[in-house]
Amino acid sequence: MTDGTTNFINGEWVAAVGGAVFASTNPANTSQTLGLYARSDQRDVALAVAAAKAAYPAWRKTPAPARGALLTKIGRLLEERKEAFSQAMVNEMGKVLVEARGDVQEAIDMAHYMAAFGRLPSGSVVPSERPDIYCSARRVPVGVVGLITPWNFPIAVPTWKMFPALLAGNTVVWKPAEDTPGMAVLLIQLLADAGVPTGIVNLVTGYGEEAGAALVEAEGVSTISFTGSTSVGKHIAGRCGQLMKRVSCELGGKNAIVVLDDADIELAVKGCLWSAFGTAGQRCTAASRLIVDKRIKAHFAERLVAETLKLRMAPGADPTAQIGPVVNRTQLERIHSYIAIGQNEGATLLTGGTPLTDAPLDKGCFYAPTIFDSMTPGMRIAQEEIFGPVTGIITVDGLDEAIAIANGTDYGLSLSLYTANLRRGMRALDELESGIVYINLPTSGAEIQLPFGGVKNTGNGHREAGWMAMDWCTEWKAAYINYAEGSELVRAQIDV
Ligand code: NDP
């Protein structure tokens, strides 16, 4: 068990300057403390930023293929430690083992994908309007980047940020979520074991309002990459605007699955179960709205409830578990508060709506998979991100109404439509307002080689993953090189 010596600064494991610690607990058994972690403040952040700043010049000059080779090594070490990481994630965050393995696999995929970028083009040569002038544009690193990450994907989300940033030649200070500091320590130790040079990646564990806010404010941090709630994201983006820092925000979602009258109902039910209840609904891509055509709604609802009742709730370490606990008691209570909100607005419960209190689930934060019926688009449960195993059915008459309702929230991350009709599918692809659209697939299931992120209140225009993962952590530098003979100045736009 860790004793609070969990900040990694300039290649050393150290305690917080002030000596404060906080505990991480197991959401499947909240009486089990997993470790004590450094509760950092601006003094620790300042030390971490200084280390990252000092390490930057040499790392920037390290050839990109060498940086890529290090990522390959990191990817291989992640493969070796995948099972140990997955078990630890189950204990600290609560997701079931098979999903924890998927979380680590995303990091492995990202390491190998980004490693290849070390040898791919990172700019272009373009013609000049003047003779004997060489023009090019290339990506350059932005310097020290600050990463602030949530608990729901404690390995995937940080590595989606960290690996592109490192490949691009930046150095890093990372503030992970207070619910998953143990996963951060494991990842940072792995990077050290892989041979990441001193000062390139630094870790400050602690609370958002203390360590996170200090990282946003810190002088010397040029760019913040944040994943988390829309309210915190808006606050951080506002501060970064005032400080003239670059900021990339990946925020919440209110995702929907549309099921049309010609859909394969069994396929759609499987997709809805996975999207609504996977990771106990604690995904930014979770489907908390099911928009169903009135012609098939009764049959769909019956099949969905029947399959939901078969889901096995258990601690994630149980190999038969299909749904684990939610991350903590505060989150459990927040989720439960939405049941009364929904019922007061006129929605009815088809199943669920309660915390689970039979042993051994009473030891942890388990919530019954919940389905509302008679949800209407304006209800709070149809507009606000609940971030738990709660979904609701909105009944519609045909494609036009379905698309309008699917688009009718402040978020725009992931929307899905089930249909057997290619024309309807293509129309949805054109008209659904979200960063990701799925046809005949659930709203969760992104692959790392495509851009990830959303529109409206889901983000501020950036994307992670895919070939555009390099955008938020690089600047463009244009170059003009004159190799003409003679002493003539040839002015652009004027002398040509
Ligand atoms: P929060 O916004 O509460 O926290 C995210 C991170 O920000 C944590 O590390 C947190 O620290 C930190 N933080 C909190 N307050 C501040 C602050 N004032 N200044 C700086 N940092 C701060 O979100 P959750 O952790 O609750 O994560 C759930 C949210 O994340 C959901 O809304 C979900 O949709 C979203 N999300 C979005 C994804 C996307 O790609 N679009 C992917 C995954 C999740 P601490 O842990 O100490 O509170």
Residue 284 is a catalytic residue: yes
- Beta strands 474-482 and 370-373: pairing type? unpaired
Q: What is the pLDDT of residues 345-384, one digit of tens each?
A: 999 999 999 999 999 999 999 999 999 999 999 999 999 9
- Residue from 103, 148, 414 to probe ligand 1 pocket by mutation (most atoms less than 8 Å from CB): 148
Residue 454's closest CA among 407, 486, 496? 407
* Ligand 1 contacts CB of residue 466 (under 6 A): no
Q: Which atom belonging to ligand 1 lies closest to the Cα atom of 216?
A: 20
Residue 91 has pLDDT above 80, yes or no: yes
Q: What is the pLDDT of residues 176-221, one digit of tens each?
A: 999 999 999 999 999 999 999 999 999 999 999 999 999 999 999 9
Q: Which atom belonging to ligand 1 lies closest to the Cα atom of 215?
A: 20
Helix (H, G, I), strand (E, B) or coil at 467: helix
- Beta strands 7-9 and 12-14: pairing type? antiparallel
Residue 281's closest CA among 344, 358, 363, 367? 367
The pTM for the full model equals 0.97
Choosing from 240, 249, 272, 284, which is the catalytic residue? Answer: 284
To which H or E segment does residue 474 belong? strand 474-482
Q: What is the pLDDT of residues 125-183, one digit of tens each?
A: 999 999 999 999 999 999 999 999 999 999 999 999 999 999 999 999 999 999 999 99
* Ligand 1 contacts CB of residue 151 (under 6 A): yes
Q: Are 444 and 414 in contact (CB under 8 A)?
A: yes
Residue 43's closest CA among 68, 16, 82? 16
Write down the mean pLDDT value for the chain.
97
What are the tokens at 297? 């709604």
Q: What is the pLDDT of residues 131-142, one digit of tens each?
A: 999 999 999 999
What are the tokens at 200? 């390139």
* Ligand 1 contacts CB of residue 210 (under 6 A): no
What are the tokens at 81? 């430690």
Q: How far is the CA of 229 from the centre of ligand 1 (A)?
A: 5
- The span from the CA of 336 to the CA of 388, in Å, is 9
pLDDT at position 274 is 97
Residue 83 is a catalytic residue: no
pLDDT at position 384 is 98
- The span from the CA of 92 to the CA of 97, in Å, is 12
Residue 224 has pLDDT above 70, yes or no: yes
